[in-house]
Amino acid sequence: MEWTMQYEDFEAIRVNIREGVAYVTIDNAPVNVEDARLVADLSRFARVVQSDEGVRVIVFQSANPEFFAAHADNNWMFDPAGLMALADPEADPALNPLQQLHERLRNLPQITIAKLRGRLRAGGAEFAMTADMRFAAAGETWLSQPESLMGIFPGGGGTQYLNRLVGRARGLEIALSGELYDSATAERYGWINREIPGQYLDVWVDSIARRIALLPKGVAAAAKEAFDAAEASGPVPDLAEEARAHAKVYPSPQAVVDRVEVLMSHGGQQRVAELNLEESLRSIPWPSAE
């Protein structure tokens, strides 16, 4: 096992490096919420790994088979300043801290792969979309952007990433329906590369990661640059525009904050409520229109 001290002392992730592949395991109990601990760990990991020539491929995975990454921390609904305190001084100040993190991950020079099991919603789904490739356990993986059920919309890069992956019409469907999508539909939409039978997912991802890591030095990085250049010749992520639009709904009005408070008081960010989050959100009545 290859190892260096710079990948130790994380709180919410574990990093294992083998044969040029960094396996980053999200382990942020109980449901892998993208909170201050996870944001800090992922940011520090990205800063270190971006200049590590010994790492050619990064695999993001979860220690929890029920949740890849639940979503961004709901507590930021009550404390917007807590989210903004995570701002990266080196990043574009027009972006919010989650956008800054996700763009740092998306722009890593290594090939990145998200190995998906369980639920990933909102910020968790946006995190997965920063990867170059996404492979999911068939029948064991569900994706959602349920922010509209909370009175906001995807604001961690989701509108821009979805548009590039699935197109405008399907992106709007995902963002505004609040539905939970199974891996078969996500594959058909282009949200993920493909679904793999669960018992073969680990072997599949390990195999493709190792094959890429064993390519002659510079090949994968150059290919990634070429594909990025082709993508840049057309529509590119306009995260600043998303940030400006998202500022119209977050920080949220008190009625929306109250709605999230009800969710949190009924088990939000705990296993049982998170397994049925969309149903839980729909069961909370919206306030009467003024």
Three-class HEC string of 23-86: EEEECCCCCCCECHHHHHHHHHHHHHHCCCCCCCEEEEEECCCCEEECCECCHHHHCHHHHHCC
Q: What is the pTM of this model?
A: 0.87
Q: Which residues of the chain have pLDDT under 50?
A: 1, 289-290
Work out the number of other CB atoms within 10 angstroms of the CB of residue 187. 20
Cβ pair 67, 26 in contact under 8 A = no
**What is the reported pLDDT for 257?**
87
- In total, the chain counts a number of residues equal to 290
**What is the reported pLDDT for 1?**
45
CA 13 to chain centre: 14
**Which two tokens mark 95?**
């972006």
**What is the reported pLDDT for 290?**
45
Distance CA 175, CA 172 (A): 5
> Of 72, 55, 198, 67, which Cα lies nearest the Cα of 126?
72
Q: Across-strand partners of 70?
A: none
**What is the reported pLDDT for 289?**
42
Q: Which residue shows structure tokens 């800054």?
A: 100
Q: Over the stretch 168-199, which tens digit does the pLDDT of each residue have?
A: 999 999 999 999 999 999 999 999 999 999 99
Q: Over the stretch 80-130, which tens digit does the pLDDT of each residue have?
A: 999 999 999 999 999 999 999 999 999 999 999 999 999 999 999 999 999
Distance CA 143, CA 122 (A): 8
**What is the reported pLDDT for 30?**
97
